[in-house]
Structure formats: structure tokens, C-alpha cells
Amino acid sequence: MPPLLKLEALAPLVQSPLHPEGASFEVRAGTTVAIMGPSGCGKSRLLRTIADLEPSSGTVWLNGQEKKTIPAPLWRRRVVYCAAESGWWADRVGDHFQPSVRLTMALEAVGLPAEAMEWSVPRLSSGERQRLALLRALTLPSEDGEGRVYLLDEPTAALDPDSTLRVEALLRTVLSPSCAVLMITHHREQAARLANRLLCFDAGRLVAKALAP
């Protein structure tokens, strides 16, 4: 079985912060891979290139199928990107979601009430905003049941310790055998709690590191 996500020499086309050889690694279905590195080293841009939001050189495959053979809207439904700073386009939170039992359960799991769907976006605290943006990504309906990769950019950066643990517990439930998570974190303990593999930026190269401190 091919890896769910595979990168070969992937790099942003414009002013890439990566070493010229780009990023090459695989993410297997059912696993979480954590990425760490200093501020400005290129972590977010790497996720954005995988998500097809920045022009890039190199090659990406999803389930053995090359990105350039998959229409962009379909790619973005299967490679779901959750940015560190979320974008919202309507005033009411609920207008960004499709109601479902899964959503109600997920809200509860991260400590938010069902009424959060009625809240207005401008009133959200940064932690509420971050959890809701994550739920929006995680509960996107899947039309074809195909495997998905979730690209999560510092998904708990705005959260208190208790909310962080709640979100981590939710993330573990996302990992069906056909899905995978590729996440950026600044916390090694979080990587150790969640990830199967850790990749660290070192002078523009991604280097595998042990998860134990």
C-alpha cells in the first residue's frame, strides 16, 4: 500500500527557506507526524505548499496519485489545511459548519457548548476561534470516503493546558485507518504525546528525531 502522503523535493517556488533539495518524506495512513523548528524556518510554508496554497517545485502524491493529476478543489477536500490564524467569511459561527451529530460531539469534546454555533465570529476569544477553526477542518463532510490528510499549523497555540489536552484527545479520534495528521508544534512534549514520528528543521533540511526527550 502506498503512503497516504508522499513528498519528493517539495519546496515553495518563491524565496524558499528550505535547503535546495527541498522536503522529502512520507506520512502513512493512521499516523501522526509532528514538525518542529525555530520561528521563520519554513514550517507553515511547507504545509501551505502541500495544501496547494503556494506555488511549489517538487512532487506530492496522495495515496499514490500525483497532485497535478487531481483537481485543486478535490485536493483541498482530501488534504485539509488548518492555518495557525483562521479565516472566517460569515458573521455567524454556525454558517461555517454543516450541522451533524459528529459536530455536536466534537464541540463537547473540546469544551465548547452547542450554542457556540449561534455566536458571532467577532466575539470569539482566540482560544474559541482556534478550537472552532480546528473543528471546522475536522468535521468537513467527506463525499467519497477517501483517506484524508489533516495539515494542522500549531493547533493548540492559543489554548490553556486543559483545552490543549482536550484537543489532543480529539485529534487521536481523527486517526481512522485511512487518515493521517501532519502537524506543526513548538512543544516537544506535545509531539511525544501525539506523534508517531518527529521531523525537525535543521538548516533548511527536515531531519528525523527521536520522540523521547
Ligand X SMILES: Nc1ncnc2c1ncn2[C@@H]1O[C@H](COP(=O)(O)OP(=O)(O)OP(=O)(O)O)[C@@H](O)[C@H]1O
Q: Which residues bind ligand X (CB under 6 A)?
A: 14-15, 17, 37, 39-45
Nearer CB in complex with ligand X: 42/58: 42
Nearer CB in complex with ligand X: 39/125: 39
The distance of closest approach from Cβ of residue 120 to ligand X in the complex, given in angstroms and rounded to an integer, is 28
Pairing state between β 149-153 and 180-184: parallel
Query: Beta-carbon neighbour count of residue 58 at 10 Å?
Result: 19
Query: In angstroms, rounded to a whole number, what is the distance separating the alpha carbons of residues 75 and 200?
Result: 26
Nearer CB in complex with ligand X: 79/107: 79
Nearer CB in complex with ligand X: 38/113: 38
The distance of closest approach from Cβ of residue 45 to ligand X in the complex, given in angstroms and rounded to an integer, is 4
Q: Which residues, 6 or more positions from 26, have their beta carbon under 8 angstroms from its beta carbon? A: 3, 5, 6, 7
The distance of closest approach from Cβ of residue 57 to ligand X in the complex, given in angstroms and rounded to an integer, is 14
Phi-psi region of 203 (alpha: psi -120 to 50; beta: other; left: phi over 0): left
The distance of closest approach from Cβ of residue 96 to ligand X in the complex, given in angstroms and rounded to an integer, is 24
Pairing state between β 205-209 and 5-12: unpaired
Query: In angstroms, rounded to a whole number, what is the distance separating the alpha carbons of residues 80 and 98?
Result: 16
The distance of closest approach from Cβ of residue 77 to ligand X in the complex, given in angstroms and rounded to an integer, is 23
Nearer CB in complex with ligand X: 13/114: 13
The distance of closest approach from Cβ of residue 41 to ligand X in the complex, given in angstroms and rounded to an integer, is 4
Q: Which residue has the cell 454558517?
A: 95
Give me the torsion for CA of 183, 147, 176, 98, rounded to 10°.
Answer: 80
Is 209 in a helix, a strand, or coil? strand
Nearer CB in complex with ligand X: 23/93: 23
